[in-house]
Structure 1
Amino acid sequence: MEKTKNTSPKSTQGSEKSNKKAAMKSSQLMELFEDELKDIYWAENALTKAIPKMIKNATSKELNKALTSHLEETKEHITRLEKVFSLIEVKAVSKKCEAMEGLIKEATEIMESCEEGSMRDAGIISAAQKVEHYEIATYGTLRQFAETLKLPKVVDLFEKTLQEEKEADLKLSDVAMAAINVEAAEEAI
């Protein structure tokens, strides 16, 4: 009769979890993943300060509504990022995102240089869509990294955020094409 080793499921799960974490920690991809995670965490937090300025400067009710909705989504994105940090057992800290800082600076310059009305609204949409495209690229990359690192719960969180970013971009396009771009084109210089 063959003797079987008596291992409890708890001890096996515990050692598998620590082995998995050790493997993740030693991965160069995991290091890049964490770095990019800190970067987008900074970016999303910065957007919670930048989007209200866009809302304040927008004159279109539709644009205002789209930006207000996305501000609430951005706050949810931060919560999801904090969940990702928790899932990979890394402290939620941010690293300054130079790209987002530049995009926010550009948005501010557009708002300051454009005349109030459709022209400024078109500029706000332009700046906001640049932000959305940066976020779409970042979340798409992070989702793929998480997939490669075999982090299915993280993949699901990033997929949800990625879809929301794509929807926000489409909504901004709809608002622009419905009236704002046409009105801005008709405004005299």
Structure 2
Amino acid sequence: MTTLKDLYIEELQDLWSANDQMSDVVSSLSAKASDRKLADRLSSAKDGIDAHSDMLRGLLRDAGGEEKSEHCKGMEGLVKEARKHALDGDLEGAALDVQIIAQYQRMCHYGIAGFGTAKAFAEALGENDAADRLDDALDNIYASDDFMTELAERSRNLESMG
């Protein structure tokens, strides 16, 4: 790495890997959710994640970078945690749904950091179209995160339910 453009390309490759890993686990989380709104949101989130991956590949092409993903160890850890706590655990019903939300939001927040960084790099490089596309992706991620927060807040009386 010697230039900002190199860093930008590496960030795009890392995000692509992170998205691919997240997409797989989000599909599994959706299948396990008991709340229909949660399951539907996760299903649509998976579609959004996949669309973001397509956009990242396009940005890599536009930037002249190698069209490959760079394995994201950060998301690998978050996916392992999601599997451990939400998919492989003994929770059921509302308790499981709250755990799914928590794990999903952790992954979203990682994506927010990465997409925000890539957007800042694109802006610094004068890649305004790329910055706009990354900003649109950020808006999608924030909206999904906000929706999950609303679902989690709806579940704040979980203790009194059990």
Shorter chain as normaliser: what TM range? over 0.9
TM-score (norm 1): 0.81
Range with bigger deviation, 163-172 or 109-118: 109-118
CA deviation string 1:4-35 (max 9, x = no partner): xxxxxxxxxxxxxxxxxxxxxx9521111111
% identical aligned pairs: 25
Query: Residue 74 of structure 1 aligns with which residue?
Result: 49
Q: Deviations over 1:98-131 (max 9, x none)?
A: 1100001001111222411111110010000011
The ranges of structure 1 where at least 4 consecutive aligned residues each deviate by more than 6 angstroms after the TM superposition are none
State the TM-score, normalized to the length of structure 2: 0.94
Alignment length (residue pairs):
161
Q: Does the C-alpha gap of structure 1 residues 57 and 181 become closer, same or farther in structure 2, counting only changes over 3 Å?
A: farther
Matches within 5 A, 1:105-184: 105-111=80-86, 112-178=88-154, 180-182=155-157, 184=158
Asked whether the equivalents of residues 22 and 107 of structure 2 are also in contact (C-alpha less than 8 Å), the reply is no
- Measured in 1, the distance between the counterparts of 2:23 and 2:66 equals 21
Residue 181 of structure 1 and its aligned partner are, at CA, apart by 3.5
Unaligned runs of 5+ in 1: 1-25
Contact 2:82 2:104 in 1 (8 A): yes
Partner residue in 1 for 2:64: 89
User: 1:5 corresponds to which residue?
Assistant: none
**Cα RMSD (Å):** 1.4
Aligned counterparts, 1:7-22, within 5 A: none
For 1:186, the equivalent position in structure 2 comes to 160
**Gaps in structure 2 of 5+ consecutive residues:** none
